[in-house]
Structure 1
């Protein structure tokens, strides 16, 4: 079964079996995971998390699905990564789906390309569970989602304000949500927000955006990238949004290296293709191997799951994308 974001939200409480959620909208992923975790807590469902760094890690996942603690009757296992199970893992997945009606395997992936969606892993889950694509392709979808976010914090926007907000943030839902929170805090006496309040609140935040950060990194300008990063942090931009930007650019560069003729199919704007091609000529593809691990370290640091400083790790990733290193390379 395939669901979109809003459909998936309505089915959270009854979710069992296997779900895959994938996309490149961090706000939608964050909201859906928050809904799952709240539901599990309410229903007293035991939760475990696994981060997949290699195919062999899937053994731990399937072993975990069969290791319910003495104090729980149901189990939810949350899996993060971008490595799919091999043939042996698919066999274990099919066995789990056939014999377990009460637990939930929730797999969280970045946006998948067409070939991945045709893989045995996706086909097995789609036939027996749920595939939720976290996207908001059309303006009316984005406005509907952001209207829910506005309602959560007790504000409404008139139509001119909506138009301005959507244009200001283009397709970035997480940044738009943060702007809604900022304008609510700045004008607590206003329940109906008009364009004047948005403009007054956000105009001083428009000097740099994450799009400027992407441009600087693709040009290999480390000094400018660090300057924009420091500005964004000072302006209150969340680490998770900056991580999303880093992850998107690293993923596109790695995919373009493997598929140099498919830039447009990968989602790279026509006007930006030459920037990505020049970046690839500057970068050492051997370094791509360390990027997924670095992104996982940043994610763990942001979530407080490690003692590492997320800003230090983000600076390391900025340097990698600019084609340099903050640390000496050892042979």
Structure 2
């Protein structure tokens, strides 16, 4: 029978000397920082217990899944124990991958892999995925580690807990200020926590000291902009766009990220309006997990008629970037991109 552990429970367990290791771990979650942290702790504990070899495979539905079983059959000349580290970024192994994972779980359950520790990392498992045969086989055999999602509302508490780990304390107002300053970016928050640990001794740190140490650390990328656009967060989208411009990000790359999503949404909206297979269209475009949820929410929020104009607006901004004039548009492509983002984030179905 499978077991369950939360992220903190796993870390605490692995910190114990010679903590017993399960033969199979399934690490599931959408916070990449915390997934990496859990995997690192598992690798460290495994190495301390003699798992000196490691095979890492990054897999999806199109991968050669025979490599997985091949890795379980390779015997070290020196009798070393092995960590088999499987990553499924999409969470969709496909038919062959699903059958392979079922067979792998069977091997673990029967005790056929006494010198192999298996770790499978993948996004958060939704209800449909949990009911798949391969997922059921893994969950009934291994230890499931569920990595929490840290949203903006829970980030101050998470920062406080991490500060406490290094013996430091911040008041509630400073925690909220710090969460705002990193714009909800968990990695940025983690780096600033480490910085405070280096700059200040254990104990309570004043708000002024934190403000002097933590400058404008909001680190943006084009995918943050895409996510804000899909969520209908106009203020956040414009803040990220301003930050990207200040950081010297390439405007063509930003337009590509936003425009590619807009073109996909236009195709999905057309399929939806004609009674087509929206789910199938998403699969063909390799859309899964949180991104799929974001696209569906956007389709439910923005009227279908808006997408054709948004696609045209994207093409017009591309012309502005190339130095061409477009009647009716501003000369500054950054300003027009801001208008495009507002078009998507503010528009609502009536």
TM-score range, shorter chain: 0.5 to 0.7
- 1:125 maps to what in 2? 138
CA RMSD of aligned residues (A): 4.7
- 1:196 maps to what in 2? 208
- 1:76 counterpart SS class: strand
Partners of 1:259 and 1:56 in 2: CA distance: 20
Q: Choose the corresponding residue for 2:86, options 79, 87, 90.
A: 79
Partners of 1:208 and 1:63 in 2: CA distance: 40
- 1:2 counterpart SS class: strand
Q: Choose the corresponding residue for 1:41, options 25, 29, 47.
A: 47
Does the 8 Å contact 1:19/1:130 carry over to 2?
Answer: yes
The 1:132/1:263 distance shift into structure 2, 3 A limit, reads closer
Residue 102 of structure 1 and its aligned partner are, at CA, apart by 4.3
- 2:8 maps to what in 1? 6
- 1:104 counterpart SS class: strand
Unaligned runs of at least 5 residues, structure 2? 233-238, 250-256, 270-277, 283-288, 312-340, 342-350
- 1:24 counterpart SS class: coil
Does the 8 Å contact 1:117/1:123 carry over to 2?
Answer: yes
Q: Choose the corresponding residue for 1:66, options 73, 77, 91.
A: 73
Partners of 1:233 and 1:42 in 2: CA distance: 44
The 1:191/1:214 distance shift into structure 2, 3 A limit, reads farther
- 1:9 counterpart SS class: helix
The 1:138/1:4 distance shift into structure 2, 3 A limit, reads farther
Does the 8 Å contact 1:20/1:131 carry over to 2?
Answer: yes
Q: Choose the corresponding residue for 2:147, options 116, 126, 134.
A: 134
- 2:169 maps to what in 1? 156
The 1:215/1:109 distance shift into structure 2, 3 A limit, reads closer
Deviations 1:103-149 (A, max 9, x none): 22111112333211221122111111112221146889755653453
- 2:28 maps to what in 1? 22
Deviations 1:8-28 (A, max 9, x none): 223444333222112111221
Does the 8 Å contact 1:23/1:134 carry over to 2?
Answer: yes
Does the 8 Å contact 2:163/2:193 carry over to 1?
Answer: yes
- 1:57 counterpart SS class: coil
Q: Choose the corresponding residue for 2:121, options 95, 103, 108.
A: 108
Does the 8 Å contact 1:208/1:228 carry over to 2?
Answer: yes
Does the 8 Å contact 2:25/2:142 carry over to 1?
Answer: yes
Unaligned runs of at least 5 residues, structure 1? 235-244, 284-321, 323-331
The 1:142/1:4 distance shift into structure 2, 3 A limit, reads farther
Residue-pair matches, total: 266
- 1:95 maps to what in 2? 107
Deviations 1:208-236 (A, max 9, x none): 687863368769xxxx98874475699xx
- 1:160 counterpart SS class: helix
Does the 8 Å contact 2:188/2:219 carry over to 1?
Answer: no
Structure (1 or 2) with the larger CA radius of gyration = 2
